[in-house]
Structure 1
């Protein structure tokens, strides 16, 4: 049996009530970490934490919007109070609330996207760093292929991910002298609420294009992303800092609808091992818009 690569580590995962965040929380606990499952008050974070404990892991939930300074500080302090230290910060919290051409994009949604995607990561990083310096820990933030390529019909979202990429590279250089690493995982289209027309703001054409533009001809799974996070957050990646780790099914290097060329039998998502209950609930209780 493979050694548990995060044994004895303490991790905070923001936005951990559903989708990729839920998968990261389960994966980290399975790898031996004690986790703080953060999300908004109406996110199923208590259920995620209880399921982790049911399967033998260590988890506590912290409900609070970490784009607010009070909750960012308290979330970090919750980890210290419960576990005595902090080794890993996962800046996963973020939103994808609207699709529209830029001239039609709602200003209030732009403001909310900036707050939830950027301010949360800045505040959590700010308040986690003094503790990460003590443990020579690391930060892994949610980048995106959209931060490399831009994203039509939600240009502000791609912009926030470009900011996240630069932010983590700057933190990596600045904090290396303290023994702290900082990296991004940059997913492509993942099988969550964000990429399904039934649950999010994408329409049928966007959803179809998203898949066809991916050479592997399918969405990634939350567990596939969690596997990448687990490696980068572990001591196995001790020489990895300032990296933008693409996990996008090849979409960044693709040209055209190359997914059409992939045979159907290769397009199936791997079943995985994690028992996830909220993979496609990331937009529940959240208002989304489509102006297309």
Structure 2
């Protein structure tokens, strides 16, 4: 166990799988009390149990946090259990469909708005009064797609672009109250979203996206969680309104340069977290 988040209380939305699971376990490993947030059929209880088995402290909350009452209830749970809130991680999001825009479904568009934008808005609104008390911070999930756009997932990139601008405005506004607000923007990460067998990407898109990273591979959820840890910790005390890209160089790649990457860059690092739910993420529209 580390101590970089000792005695901090963190809410992590989308905490039951993928990058969210890694954030929860990394934060708990570093001494945080973690509220693991997910929908009713997410493996939230399993993640809580796995954190506790490793000596960490966590509690689960299940509910649709795009609904204001649920967002408030989630924050109230953190206060009831741990008396304060220091960190909000707006990680929850969906990637339900890939399609040319003329064929993109209205159902998928509405699903993106609810889960990628409204959930961030509602959780931020509910958490700010408590974060102002502790001079805490918010880290929201952006994406390299929010910077460059995403062909055949144009609305997805749009939702992440909203989160980028939302967070920059929020950082400007909330500095008055002592609250820092930042973005971590992953690229292609090894979760259910980025495999043709488990998500909406085609095999062709999967291959081209991987070769479009300078490092020629997917990132790991733990590599993303490491950046969240820094940004959420007191080590980043002079960082607000920033976007940290964790994308293997996708945003500056020109063509399939990943195919020429050195072997050491193509090799995933050996992580230290025991991640069981990397492939359990939401890859289809659910009620």
Q: Give the alignment's TM-score, normalised by structure 2.
A: 0.98
Partner of 1:71: 70
Q: CA RMSD in A?
A: 1.2
- Deviations, residues 34-77 of structure 1 (Å, cap 9, x unaligned): 00000000000000001101100000000001011111010111
Q: How many residues align?
A: 286
Shift, 1:192, TM fit: 0.2
Partner of 1:121: 120
Shift, 1:266, TM fit: 3.3
Partner of 1:32: 31
- The answer as to 2:21 corresponding to 1:14 is no
Where 2:59 maps in the other structure, the secondary structure is strand
**Where does structure 1 lack aligned partners over 5 or more consecutive residues?**
none
Partner of 1:146: 145
1:199–1:283 CA contact under 8 A, matched in 2? no
1:141-180 → structure 2 map (5 Å cutoff): 141-180=140-179
Paired with 2:94 and 2:167, the residues of 1 have a C-alpha distance of 19
Paired with 1:20 and 1:81, the residues of 2 have a C-alpha distance of 26
- Deviations, residues 170-193 of structure 1 (Å, cap 9, x unaligned): 110000011100000011000000
Where 1:7 maps in the other structure, the secondary structure is coil
Partner of 1:254: 253
1:142-291 → structure 2 map (5 Å cutoff): 142-283=141-282, 286-287=284-285
Paired with 2:261 and 2:172, the residues of 1 have a C-alpha distance of 40
**Where does structure 2 lack aligned partners over 5 or more consecutive residues?**
none
Where 2:55 maps in the other structure, the secondary structure is coil
1:28-107 → structure 2 map (5 Å cutoff): 28-107=27-106
Where 2:92 maps in the other structure, the secondary structure is coil
Q: Give the alignment's TM-score, normalised by structure 1.
A: 0.96
Where 1:98 maps in the other structure, the secondary structure is coil
Shift, 1:139, TM fit: 0.1
2:37–2:61 CA contact under 8 A, matched in 1? yes
The runs of at least 4 consecutive aligned structure 1 residues that moved more than 2 Å come to 263-266
